[in-house]
């Protein structure tokens, strides 16, 4: 009996394999964006470098993703508390805010493009398209996961009640949120 309790306690101390995999992936993503922002800093001293204005839509998209980080955390809490109606509403709101973030990013990119900042030449606009575009791709991946969670939340009956997928989604969503805040501050401060 005592040995069984010791084994259970040891298993609780171990990180879940999916969580470990997520953290490894997040570390890789951090390295990719660190490399890209470092390249931006090195390249900005070139003679033909052009700056770009931060579109107003990026400010609004930042607010949307920050709010979505709050809603996903509240959804996780509701799920763990087995408040399924609240969880469903919050996961739906998080998904809508994520889609709103991407839509606002698209409007921001269109604004920059309309100002003549394209992929031609050398400048900050090209880096913005690449860096923020890669971030948007990661957010889109998160939205796909949110859609899956949304569908499962509204499924008629849950077969297994497991909070790991919601915890993973919450961690990932907070990560893309913090990554965007870093990138946004980076582009505001280094132009």
Q: What is the pLDDT of residues 142-161, one digit of tens each?
A: 999 999 988 888 886 666 67
Q: Which domains are seen in the chain, by residue range? A: 2-189 (1.20.120.80)
H helical segments located in the chain: 2-13, 17-43, 56-80, 84-114, 124-153, 164-189
The alpha carbon of residue 16 and the mean position of all alpha carbons in its chain are separated, in whole angstroms, by: 21
pLDDT tens-place string over residues 155-186:
866 666 778 889 989 999 999 999 999 999 98
Whole-prediction pTM value?
0.81
pLDDT tens-place string over residues 42-85:
877 777 677 777 889 999 999 999 999 999 999 999 999 989 89
């Amino acid at each position: 009996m005592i040995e069984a309790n010791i084994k259970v306690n040891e298993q609780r101390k171990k990180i879940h394999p999916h969580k470990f995999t997520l953290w490894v992936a997040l570390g890789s993503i951090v390295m990719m964006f660190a490399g890209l922002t470092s390249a931006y800093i090195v390249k900005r001293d070139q003679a033909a470098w052009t700056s770009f204005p931060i579109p107003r839509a990026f400010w609004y998209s930042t607010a949307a993703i920050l709010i979505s980080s709050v809603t996903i955390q509240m959804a996780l809490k509701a799920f763990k508390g087995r408040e399924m109606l609240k969880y469903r509403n919050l996961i739906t709101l998080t998904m809508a805010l994520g889609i709103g973030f991407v839509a606002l990013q698209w409007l921001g990119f269109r604004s920059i493009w309309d100002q003549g900042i394209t992929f031609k030449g050398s400048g900050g606009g090209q880096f913005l398209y690449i860096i923020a575009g890669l971030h948007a791709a990661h957010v889109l991946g998160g939205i796909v996961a949110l859609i899956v969670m949304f569908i499962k939340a509204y499924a008629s009956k849950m077969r297994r009640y497991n909070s790991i997928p919601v915890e993973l989604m919450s961690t990932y969503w907070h990560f893309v949120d913090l990554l965007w805040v870093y990138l946004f501050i980076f582009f505001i401060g280094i132009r």
